[in-house]
A and B are shown apart, each in its own frame.
Chain A
Amino acid sequence: MLSRVAENLYWLGRYLERADNMARLADVNVQATTESTPAGGGSAWEAVIATLGATEAYAGALTERPDLTLADYLIYSSYPESLRSTVATARSIAREVREHISREVFEEVNRLYLGTNRGGTDERSLRMFYATVKRAVATILGLFDNTVLLTEGREWFHCGLFLERAEMTSRIIDAKYFILLPEPDDVGGPRDRYQWMAVLRSASALEAYRKQEHGPVTGPRVADLLMFDQDFPRSMVYCVAQLRSHYERAVVQIPMARSVHAAREVAILEYDLRAADARNVIRSGLHEFVDDFQARLGVIDEALREHLFRAVPEEPEG
């Protein structure tokens, strides 16, 4: 498969997953503040933007357009961080790799893109918009699984998707622990519990939590589910395990010299996650742990680019 196409499919998976997560995050957080104000007095949008790691970019945008609200910036603006731009990027990549995805997948991505023309920014319209994005991405992933050939490209798509999901889940946990750092008195209190439920909902994990854990919602248990539960399809360990298996299938025909770099990073990361334990992680610093996790995803991404997608061509055989 062409290296350029492989890279594009990887990014298609990443951008679609990112759009889905953004819609979910914005939805849950803004809805949560309708009932109760978040800790620290900041707005729900501030929590969203912090989770997405776009606080600085927003500050930059404000110097150009001082009246730009957070909601506008994150949802409809033409800045690359917005949900709308994320969808537009996914669509332009899909257009470039159209020969490698099915007609059904392309048309669904295209329909999603055509539907992101600016709507209202009142809460009701925004929620309808999030619902559209989430349903469209779910449809696209389903169509992808059921209509795209089982070739290398399909594996690259899934590598991108699971790498992005792993990162997003880690950001959701980090945001609660670090950015929305609760007042010591609050820990275990109703507000704390309420916020942890919002975190679970951001990761579509509330129902999974109820099935896996029978007690009340507590920080360590939520962190355990989102990071280390091997049966929950959005947990960090699950995503990394999926990343490994899709990567192994993607590189079956690829010379070891090219594939080994990312393979090594992914495998070690998976072992480390499987060996870790939520209580220890929280005791020794959850933020540091997540930080390190994200840095290692960055190393994997870099290895893919350097050794597979943009490798300098060697001499042909013979």
Chain B
Amino acid sequence: MDLFSGYRARSGYDEMIAPDGTVRSPYRDFRERIQDWDATAFLQRQEIADLDTLNSGITFTVYNDDAGTERIFPFSLIPRIIAPDEWAQLERGLVQRVTALNRFLVDIYGPQDCISDGLIPADMVFDHAAYRLRMAGFRPPQGVYSHIAGIDLIRDSEGVFRVLEDNLRTPSGVSYVLENRRTMLDTVPDLFPLGRVEPVSGYPERLLEMLVAMRPEGVAPDETRAVILTPGAANSAYFEHSFLARQMGIELVEGRDLVVHRQRVYLRATTGLERVHVIYRRVDDDYLDPLVFSPESMLGVSGLVNSYLAGNVTIVNAIGTGVADDKTTYCFVPAMIRYYLGEEPIIPNVETFTGWREEDCAYMLDHLEELVLKPAEGSGGYGIVVGAQASAETLATARDRLRREPRKWIAQPLQDFSTIPTFDGAQFEPRRADLRPFVITGDGSWVLPGGLTRVAANAESYIVNSSQGGGSKDSWVLRKQPES
């Protein structure tokens, strides 16, 4: 009688247990190692892990709640484990996708071939709230727009990984990947298959290398000053901003710490003004520069955009990437991959209907109770209507909104995505989980092995966002076992 003997996977795909009750191959070693644990042993470790999380201040801030409440991101000790060959395939698919998306961005802010060739409707791009006219005709260093991308994947009931969403603006979560691994190594080192898990600690170095590589022309690599720009300590992802600054050994700055003189950006230091060359910004486009975007923004730096367009500072990610990671554009990504790369997409999309197509819209209105309706622009799980779980009133309101502004919505069939065993306090239950791998693009693209596994707050939920109470897990990419 051990912890997993009562575990029953749901009808869909479970990452650990196959429908016939056997343990799937990536989990076999893990299953043996946890064999002798009982609930007490598990809870003890979980307690140590939670205390560690609390003490090290790994918290995020929840909006729409008491102003500035900090919470721990719940952490679950059972990892997601990915087989080596499966990861190799995902890695190729992620690089392919991010490459195509960067080509698309260079194209729409440049020659606009995809529009003249009829691939993308012109007004879909130009009417888009995140399209930045100021970027038209500007080619960022090395033609990279989205240097750091987070691509959300799910595994469907057939066991196929699919892309659920692209995040090309300022995706967060990577600090949890690194901290989750540290917590696992500290609290359950005995569960690791010795020497077979790909490390994740190389991320900050890769990130810094990329930032330096993006420096403006004429600046030597060892003179390059890169900084992280944060909206401040009240931001929900502040922990991550501070974490990355620490890990890379670079300065974490706020808008008020920067000043622009003659189209050059400087830090306000005690010693005077010091030149900055690369800004990894974690501030949205709208708040970057009050002279260009939102004039009431206190978070930005006046003159920053001009200095960027003059080539004196590089902004990472580039301005205007939001037009490519929106849920409507998402529907066109497989076509982009074929168009720009002449390849078939390696990781498929989830079936998606967009209000931009009339026939899709009609279908959405008729089948709303079977669909998940999402705002085309927006993130964090806000505004999502899960048809099967919504009240008649919610559905009516949603239909109304859809009729009024069809282009603002997309819908997908309810995806029964895969589950991973998660301890609910007394036993293991299957909970749905997604995976957000992170892709860094400079000279080439590099994928952090694994990524952030987010898990729903309870057995019924389909929503894994931390702002909705979800938690996270460590993600292990297994190394190929050496031939013996």
Contact = CB atoms under 8 A, between A and B. Distances in A.
Contacts of A92: 233
Given A4-B254, A98-B246, A111-B55, A316 B270 contact: no
A308 B271 CA distance: 8
B261 A4 contact: no
Contacts of A250: 270
B55 A2 contact: no
A2 B254 CA distance: 10
Interface string B227-265: 000000100001000100110000111101101010010
Contact of B56 (A5, A103, A254, A309): A103
B266 A258 contact: no
A114 B55 contact: yes
Contact of B57 (A3, A95, A254, A309): A95
Nearest to B252: A99
Most central of A6, A99, A255, A309 by chain B CB within 10 Å: A99
Contacts of A258: 270, 272
Interface in A208-266: 250-251, 253-255, 258
A255 B271 CA distance: 6
Contacts of B103: none
B269 interface: yes
Contacts of B268: 2-4, 313
Interface in A98-136: 98-99, 103, 106-107, 110-111, 114
A263 to B, nearest CB: 13
Contacts of B256: 4
A6 B270 CA distance: 7
B254 to A, nearest CB: 7
Given A3-B269, A314-B273, A96 B233 contact: yes
Given A2-B251, A2-B269, A110 B246 contact: no
B71 interface: no
A1 interface: yes
B257 A313 contact: no
Given A99-B242, A99-B245, A255-B271, A313 B266 contact: yes
Nearest to B254: A4
A3 B242 contact: no
Contacts of A99: 242, 245-246, 251-252
B273 A316 contact: yes
A56 interface: no
B45 interface: no
A18 B415 CA distance: 56
Contacts of B245: 99
B233 A95 contact: yes
A183 interface: no
Contact of B269 (A1, A96, A98, A315): A1
Contact of A254 (B238, B259, B270, B273): B270
Given A3-B269, A114-B55, A152-B270, A316 B264 contact: yes
A110 B233 contact: no
Interface in B56-80: 56-57
The 3 A-B residue pairs whose C-beta atoms are closest, nearest first, are: A316-B273, A99-B245, A99-B246
Given A4-B256, A107-B55, A309-B270, 20 more contacts: A1-B269, A1-B271, A2-B267, A2-B270, A3-B268, A4-B268, A6-B270, A95-B233, A98-B242, A98-B246, A106-B57, A110-B56, A250-B270, A253-B271, A254-B270, A308-B270, A313-B259, A313-B268, A315-B261, A316-B272
30 contacts: A1-B269, A1-B270, A1-B271, A2-B251, A2-B253, A2-B257, A2-B267, A2-B268, A2-B269, A5-B251, A6-B270, A92-B233, A95-B242, A99-B245, A99-B251, A103-B56, A106-B56, A107-B55, A152-B270, A254-B272, A255-B272, A258-B270, A308-B270, A313-B272, A313-B273, A314-B273, A315-B261, A316-B261, A316-B266, A316-B273
Interface of B: 54-57, 233, 238, 242, 245-246, 251-254, 256-257, 259, 261, 264, 266-273, 275
